């Protein structure tokens, strides 16, 4: 009986640190015109478990362009990925920005991580025979992965120009994360020449083990001790 109770307590402790990593999610889009006007859209929800792709459809920003194939992919392992296709409009745009985030429940101690970003640039048929995508992050980068809301993990994919063509550029980063993580996010921020098209996918994934809640551990250990004491008294009687 004593061995059974000890195994039961151990099982409860294992369950307490093997919960799936699920939480709320949010996607935001911003379009900033050359005149400083900002137009935005926001989507949000709760991701229960597993791997799910959320098709967020298309967003028409009028004179600033159209976003299509907007998709968010969440994995409770956890990972967050954002995909977009964008055709710029007739009015110059300072920046087109997107942000996708997911809360990590429970807090995670990270053992490995990877971020990736890719962008395809296509010159429009009815525009000048060249296209330029300019990243607005330092060093002209287009994608950014962050954790815990404010910590920069990596900036990815430098902007470029092309003539009468389409090209895809991509980049991957593996950097250490030395603190527990409560949120991961992937962002893009760039400007695009009028009438041209850009599409891309950014992904940020982490792996690790959950940080046990102190109150939960105390409660389970206390309960386990109580069960053990009860079993021992019953065995003596």
**Tens digits of pLDDT across the chain (237 residues):** 555 444 444 444 444 444 455 679 999 999 999 889 999 999 999 987 789 999 999 999 999 999 999 999 999 889 999 999 999 998 888 899 999 999 998 899 999 999 999 999 999 987 778 999 999 999 999 999 999 999 999 999 999 999 989 999 999 999 999 999 999 999 999 999 999 999 999 999 999 999 876 544 444 444 545 554 545 555 555
pLDDT at 13: 46
Strands 23-33 and 38-47, sheet pairing: antiparallel
Looking at residue 43, what is its pLDDT? 96
Total domains present in the chain: 2
d(CA 88, CA 191): 9
**Same domain (yes/no): 202, 223:** no
Residues 115 and 77 in one domain: yes
**25/122 same-domain check:** yes
Asked if 135 and 122 touch (Cβ cutoff 8 Å), the reply is no
The verdict on 196 and 228 lying in the same domain is no
Asked whether residue 144 falls in the same domain as residue 45, the answer is: yes
In this structure, what token pair is assigned to residue 108?
Answer: 């995670």
Q: How far separated are the first and last CA of the chain, in Å rounded? A: 14
Q: What pLDDT, on a 0 to 100 scale, did the predictor assign at position 14?
A: 46
Domain range spanning residue 226?
A: 1-15+212-237
Looking at the structure, tell me whether residues 64 and 145 fall in a common domain. yes
Which tokens in the block code for residue 127? 């525009």
113 and 4 in a common domain: no
Sign of dihedral through CA atoms 209, 215, 217, 223? negative
What is the per-residue pLDDT for 105?
A: 87
Structure tokens of 134? 């300019």
- State the Cα angle at 23 between 201 and 219, rounded to 5°: 145
Check residue 12 and give its pLDDT. 46
């Amino acid at each position: 009986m004593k061995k059974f109770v000890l195994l039961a307590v151990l099982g409860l402790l294992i369950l307490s640190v093997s919960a799936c990593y699920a939480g709320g999610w949010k996607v935001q889009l911003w379009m900033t015109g050359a005149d400083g006007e900002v137009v935005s859209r926001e989507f949000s929800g709760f991701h229960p478990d597993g791997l799910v792709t959320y098709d967020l459809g298309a967003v028409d920003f009028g004179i600033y362009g159209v976003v299509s194939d907007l998709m968010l992919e969440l994995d409770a392992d956890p990972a967050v990925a954002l995909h977009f296709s964008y055709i710029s409009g007739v009015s110059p745009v300072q920046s087109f920005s997107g942000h996708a985030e997911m809360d990590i429940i429970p807090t995670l101690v990270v053992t490995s991580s990877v971020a990736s970003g890719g962008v395809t640039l296509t010159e429009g048929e009815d525009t000048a025979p060249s296209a330029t995508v300019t990243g607005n992050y330092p060093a002209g980068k287009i994608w950014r992965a962050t954790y815990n809301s404010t910590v920069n993990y990596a900036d990815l994919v430098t902007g470029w120009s092309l003539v009468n063509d389409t090209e895809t550029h991509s980049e991957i980063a593996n950097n250490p994360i030395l603190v527990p993580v409560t949120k991961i996010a992937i962002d893009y921020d760039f400007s695009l020449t009028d009438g041209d098209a850009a599409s891309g996918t950014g992904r940020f994934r982490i792996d690790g083990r959950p940080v046990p809640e102190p109150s939960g551990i105390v409660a389970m250990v206390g309960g386990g001790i109580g069960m053990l004491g009860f079993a021992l008294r019953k065995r003596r009687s």
